[in-house]
Amino acid sequence: MIPLLVHLALAAPPDSDACHAVRSVVSATPFTLTTPYRYEWSADALDVTSGTLLVLDVDPTWLVPSDTHQPTLFAGALPVERIGTGYPSGRLVVVVPAVVDVARAPLYFSGSDLPERVDAAAGKRALDAATAAGCAPLQVPAAKAVTLDGRAALLRLTD
C-alpha cells in the first residue's frame, strides 16, 4: 500500500516549473540491444530491448544531489533511468525504454517517490496531471539508431 503522503505527492499536478525544468533535448540516440536488461526504474517488470538515450538540458536546481527523496523525472507515464546526476552542468543523460515514444511524451518532474516504486497506475496519474498542467513534448533531434550488445555497451555511449 502506498503511504498517503507519497500518494498525494504523486497525484499533485506539476507546477509550470516542473513542466519547463527540462528545457530541451540536446541529443537522442535510438538503440536496440541484443541482450535485454531489467529496468529497475519502475515498479512494473520491464525488460529493455530498445529505447532512446537522451541528453537533456535541465534547470540544474532540479538536479541538486540529495540524501532525501527528489522529484521523479518522467517521460510520459514512465520514470526515466538517470545516468549520473547532471549537476551542476544541467546536462542529464537518461534512458527511455521504447514503450515510451519520446517524440510524443512530455518530459517533466512529478512527486518525490523513488522511481522504482512508481507503478503503471501512479505513472498514469502523474502523466494526466502533467498534461492538465500544460506539460508538452519537446522537439527531439533526429539521430541514427545503433545496435548494441547490452546495458554495458549502452552506458559506454555516455562516456
Torsion of CA 117, 13, 92, 151, to 10 degrees: 30
For 22, the domain range is 4-156
What percent of the chain has a predicted confidence (pLDDT) above 70?
90
Number of domains in the chain: 1
Q: pLDDT by residue (tens digit) across 140-156? A: 999 999 999 999 999 99
What is the pTM for the complete model shown? 0.87
SS3 state at 67: coil
Alpha carbon distances (Å) from 103 to 6, 37, 107, 122: 29, 23, 10, 22
Across the range 96-107, mean pLDDT stands at 96
Q: How confident is the model at residue 4 (pLDDT cuts 50, 70, 90)?
A: very low
User: How large is the average pLDDT for residues 16-37?
Assistant: 93
